[in-house]
Amino acid sequence: MKMHKITSALALTVLATGAMGTAQATITGSAYFVTEAQANNAVIGFAHGAPNATFSVPNGPINFTSSAGYTLSQFLLSSPGAIILTGTAGDLGRALDISGSGTILELLGQVTVSNGQTFTVDHDDGLQLMIGGLLVVNAPGPTSPTTTTVTYGGPSGTFAFDLVYGECCGEPAVLATSLPLRGTVPEPGTLALLGLGLLGLGMTRRRKA
């Protein structure tokens, strides 16, 4: 019985440590194969089902490029430190743009910005970027590789961001930004509730022992 209690305590410690580790979350992303019309109009809130692939990107500027290849997996892994989380071999090996269809990527997380801050976004093709409730980049349609320079005009602080990028109309594919993006960090209250839940689980198991 004593050994069971020790094992339960160790398990709780490991789980709690893992929960705290998620506080250093990476940027999360989803990739969707869509119709050519949707890919030609990459807007936040686009209609979609389950993603064809999910991925993560380390905190900081992102830099995706198709110079290494034009399949979904090659594009996703082109940004330093990116990790593919889910996706079938067929989907990951599919070209970003084939006849009648294209690909939309959506990245979610947080960013700290200040009023008057200037940053750049490279994209080919369409892109929208929302910081907080402010649409700071609104270029949803097809384009050749281009660099958009943005001067942020909203309030200073840390806000959620939503970045949607659409690839259509043939190579290349480019998505990069100088913004120091990062993953969403759980609120302290969320971690505290999780810790209480784990503690309760451990106590329940101890009583049964």
**Residues 70, 140: one domain?**
yes
Return all residues near 15 (Cβ < 8 A) that are at least 6 apart: 198
**Residues 13, 70: one domain?**
no
- Phi first, then psi: give them for residue 143, nearest 5 degrees: -160, 160
Count of domains in the chain?
A: 2
**Residues 19, 108: one domain?**
no
**Residues 104, 169: one domain?**
yes
Average pLDDT over residues 67-74: 95
Domain range holding 168? Answer: 26-184
**Residues 121, 80: one domain?**
yes
pLDDT of 147 reads 94
CATH number assigned to the domain comprising residue 178: 2.60.120
pLDDT over 70 for what percent of the chain?
A: 77
pLDDT tens column, 163-201: 999 999 889 999 999 999 999 865 554 344 444 444 444
Average pLDDT over residues 137-160: 94
The model's confidence at residue 30, banded by pLDDT at 50, 70 and 90, is very high
**Residues 198, 161: one domain?**
no
Q: Is 204 a residue whose pLDDT tops 60?
A: no
Q: Is 9 a residue whose pLDDT tops 80?
A: no
Give the separation between CA 119 and CA 117, rounded to whole angstroms: 7
pLDDT of 186 reads 55
* Contact assessment for residue 44 and residue 76, using Cβ atoms and an 8 Å cutoff: no
DSSP code, position 71? B
**Residues 125, 77: one domain?**
yes
pLDDT tens column, 71-109: 999 999 999 999 999 999 999 999 999 988 999 999 999
**Residues 113, 189: one domain?**
no
pLDDT of 48 reads 87
**Residues 14, 107: one domain?**
no
**Residues 125, 162: one domain?**
yes
**Residues 199, 144: one domain?**
no
pTM of the model: 0.78
pLDDT of 56 reads 97
**Residues 164, 200: one domain?**
no
What's the Cα-to-Cα distance from 162 to each of 17, 26, 69, 123, 129, rounded to whole Å?
29, 14, 26, 15, 6
